[in-house]
Amino acid sequence: MSEKPGDSRIGTAKEEQLQPFTVDNDGKKLTTNTGLHVAEDEHSLKAGVRGPTLMEDFHFREKMTHFDHERIPERIVHARGFGAHGYFQVYKSMAEYTEAGFLQNPEKETPVFVRFSTVAGSRGSADTVRDVRGFAVKFYTDEGNYDLVGNNIPVFFIQDAMKFPDFIHAVKPEPHNEIPQAASAHDTFWDFVTMNTETAHMVMWAMSDRALPRSFSMMEGFGVHTFRFINSQGKARFVKFHWKPVLGVHSMVWDEVQKLGGKDPDFQRRAMWEAIENGDYPEFELGVQLLEEEDEFKFGFDVLDPTKLWPEELIPVQIVGKMTLNRNTDNFFAETEQIAFHPGHLVKGIDFTNDPLLQGRLFSYTDTQLSRLGGPNFNEIPINRPMCPVHNNQRDGMHRMTINRGTTAYHKNSIAGNSPAPSPDGYRHYQEKVDGRVVQERSDSFKDHYSQAALFWNSMSEVEKAHIVSAFQFELGKVKDKVIRQRAVDMFANVSRRLAAEIADAIGATPPLEAKGTDGTEAAGGKMDPGGMSGASPALSMMNSVKTARTRKVAVLAGDGFCGPEVRATMDALRAAGAQPEVVSLKLGTLSGDDGSPLEAAHSFLTSDSVLFDAIYVAGGAVSIGTLAKDKRAAAFLQEAFQHYKAIGFSKPEEAEPLLQLAGLPAAGPGLISGGDDFGKALTEAVAAHRHWERSC
């Protein structure tokens, strides 16, 4: 059982299953892999103290051999990831729609393991790069493992799996010099985008702040493809899956994520690890959009096209349950690295559709595990084992763990009474009627590449639009080939002429003809009817998301002589709202307040940085502020937080004046909280607001 701080739960069934495989070395004697106690682990066996090393030193050889083979191939995509354990509970039975056992009983807790990831970067790349985030969930249900292998963006770049290797080759570092790492701002990516215009919609998302999430627990998840729910009467409906973060959907700004890449490349994994250790468990509600089969052709887009979303205003998202991540891994490699997801790991009551992207994934995921995990027995690795019994006639292969008894390994047999036998209530594929010629073509219904890209653009607030424009300007500004740059401008003029004109202006390209600064309604040439929408889907903007101070980190800038009562009251108010105030000072150690009270400085200006925090509170007390006002690093801390639209609090403007002056900051303005009777409450609200975009920086 877990006894980690913050883990209030007794432990999950999965944890119990993993228990026999975990090993604790505390107080144990060192052994070889065959269990022999070892007397020497620092000096290899030599012929004389200065002589050659001897082959017969089996402990040295075993130690070195194992080390030489420690690495396995990293994932081709989604190599950089981070995982945690948790559980899922449905709010009410979904029996009307699906037979899936884990969606029936609100009392039932189904263990899960979730792995979040970036896509393009290698395993050691930075967490905060501009990229899509993977959102893969393995449900260890009583009826077998179910994997919902999704992303934090509801659509994908391409429509057919055939193009996936090409797309990934284009976004990965260029092959001749392996540059740039974990970035799409280079020629081959934009060449691919502009030569394959089905990418338009997803590229709009990738250039938006959705690709810069504040944390894993503040991003949405999407199954992307259309799946099927099937109930016990055999009735099927189309379904799209959504994960909605309880903390709301929030992102960072570009300058901030770039700095974080250097200041703390582990920023997001550290945040999730610490949140779980602190008992601030990341929570996500599961939502479904359901569509009757007879409504399949009712919309202006093809419901099987993975570059299209179903606007929530047309097909509402029903919230059906919640996932809570409450336990960190014991071992990154054994759990997070070895977990093997596969969209084809299904349970009864859920099936695929003919989405051609999904169909190709069904082959790829098992195939890739064969080389990544070294053979066909990867489902026997503890993290991948189902919670229910496994009985079949599959045998042998590299790394086989199971010791199957008996003489038969075939079906049908009479020797073992024909067991294991298929059961009539087992999984059956949905009996969809299929009709057509064998062709290598794309359906005409997949050929509109711009309407939903324009829908996305039109749904953004002005702040979000401005961020999208500068993302394009940056990315295309890094493209060396002027022809590709121009093609991008011309392509995105189909989404919005204003967008294209603003991109062109920054990258030395020719603006699209008739650049009038209009929105996508005009640009899409009358095709703006993604299913009866008026041209905008408010659900796509992050501006109206849930706002809370929970888990937000607040830097408390203080020196000796801080105002004890004020600092205690303010930090208490922040903590009461779930925020985490942490003291930053000139150096580490214990500070002394004007009333003699102690305050532990957990960080110094050397070990910390403004980008690691969501907000700043300048502790009151003239002496403390006077000390800070002599240190340019304190001013830089404030300036940067101001430029990143973060809340900044100081209780007395006149007292804070010297520091504000050094930082060149105004004493009043959006997100600048000062004075007032209920300073702690006002600051907490400003922290909860996430960012103060009204501020002009």
Q: Which residues are catalytic?
A: 78, 151
In the complex, least distance from residue 191 CB atom to ligand HDE, rounded to whole angstroms: 19
Q: 272 or 583, CB closer to ligand HDE?
A: 272
| Alpha helix ranges (H) inside 135-243 | 164-171, 187-195, 200-206
Q: Which residue is nearest to ligand HDE (CB)?
A: 134
CA neighbours closer than 13 Å in the CB half-sphere of residue 43: 9
Contact 319, 79 (CB under 8 A): no
Tell the smallest beta-carbon distance from residue 474 to ligand HDE (Å): 25
Angle at 291 between CA 297 and CA 234, to 5 degrees: 110
DSSP 278: T
If the CB atoms of residues 123 and 550 are measured against ligand HDE, the closer one turns out to be 123
- Give 82 or 97: the residue with its C-beta nearer to ligand HDE: 82
CB of 31 to ligand HDE, least distance (A): 33
DSSP letter at 372 equals H
Contact (CB, 8 A) for 354 and 310: no
**Nearest alpha carbon to residue 686 among 582, 572, 565, 552:** 552
Question: What distance in Å separates the CA atoms of residue 412 and residue 490, rounded to the nearest whole number?
Answer: 62
The residue (of 133 and 498) whose beta carbon lies closer to ligand HDE is 133
Helix-strand-coil percent breakdown of the chain, rounded to 5?
30, 15, 50
Task: Output 162 or 415, the one with its CB closest to ligand HDE.
Answer: 162
At closest approach, how far in Å is the CB of 108 from ligand HDE? Answer: 25
CA distances from 256 to 53, 117, 546, 613, 642 (A): 52, 19, 22, 10, 11
Beta bridge partners of 228: 238, 351
Please state the separation of Cα 666 from the chain's center in Å: 36
Closest contact distance (angstroms) between CB of 564 and ligand HDE is 48
For the bound state, the minimum distance from the C-beta of residue 621 to ligand HDE, rounded and expressed in Å, comes to 48
Is-contact 355 306, C-beta < 8 A?
A: yes
CB closer to ligand HDE, 368 vs 592: 368
CA distances from 49 to 44, 46, 53, 370, 616 (A): 10, 6, 10, 46, 60
| CB-based contact 695:670 (threshold 8 Å) | yes
Shortest Cβ 6–ligand HDE spacing (Å): 24
Nearest CB to ligand HDE, comparing residues 164 and 645: 164
Residue 60 CB burial class (10 angstroms; 0-12, 13-18, ≥19): middle
Name the site residues for ligand HDE (rule: CB under 6 A): 75-78, 81, 115, 117, 134, 136, 149-151, 156, 161, 164, 224, 340-341, 357, 360-361, 364-365, 368
Instruction: Look up residue 646 and give its amino acid.
Output: K
Rounded Cα distance between 458 and 680, Å, is: 38
